[in-house]
Amino acid sequence: MLKLCTPQARAILSDREEIIKIIETFFEVGKTKDLMRLREIQLDDNSFSSFSDVPPYDLKDFKTTIALEELRFISISDYDHQIRNPKINVFGDVAIVAFELTQKGMLVDNKAYTGEYISIDGRATFVLVKKPTWKIVHIHLSKIP
């Protein structure tokens, strides 16, 4: 017997689909180089923060994070990524997404005209808020040694 989803279950499913699409959009910027997408999917607000395992290790605000993300995605050609084992938890207007991540590409040094192939296995946690659409409010990326 087929059970119909409740409106609440459909809303959660729809939220989960929208949330994973936003996470995919974030990493697709590495391929498309459409840097404006980063500003569209992240919350430009004092509550925004990010951490990573790339120096400087301090807690970063929106403006600093955007600048570093743009630099990273522009510096890597032939970028590709794979999101594995995503776990999405939705708590009303807040969502937490944790997953394993592989990023690959050619790290380009435009001054020396050289490149180095990179492959990074890592973990990621994204926190999103619904204001009125889902926006990234916190990012934590770390390499797996």
Q: Are 112 and 144 in contact (CB under 8 A)?
A: no
pLDDT of residue 110: 59
Q: What is the pLDDT of residues 40-74, one digit of tens each?
A: 999 999 999 999 988 888 999 999 999 999 999 99
Mean pLDDT of 91-113: 88
Q: Is 9 or 51 the better-scoring residue by pLDDT?
A: 51
Largest CA-CA distance found in the chain, in angstroms, rounded: 65
- CA quadruple 101, 47, 19, 96: dihedral positive or negative? positive
What's the CA gap between 59 and 11, in Å, rounded?
33
Report the SS3 class of residue 16.
helix
Q: What is the pLDDT of residues 115-142, one digit of tens each?
A: 789 999 999 999 999 999 999 999 999 9
Burial class of 42 by CB neighbour count within 10 A (0 to 12, 13 to 18, 19+): buried
Q: Is 41 or 9 the better-scoring residue by pLDDT?
A: 41
Domains belonging to the chain, first-starting first, are: 7-143 (3.10.450.50)
pTM value surpassing 0.85? yes
Burial class of 115 by CB neighbour count within 10 A (0 to 12, 13 to 18, 19+): middle
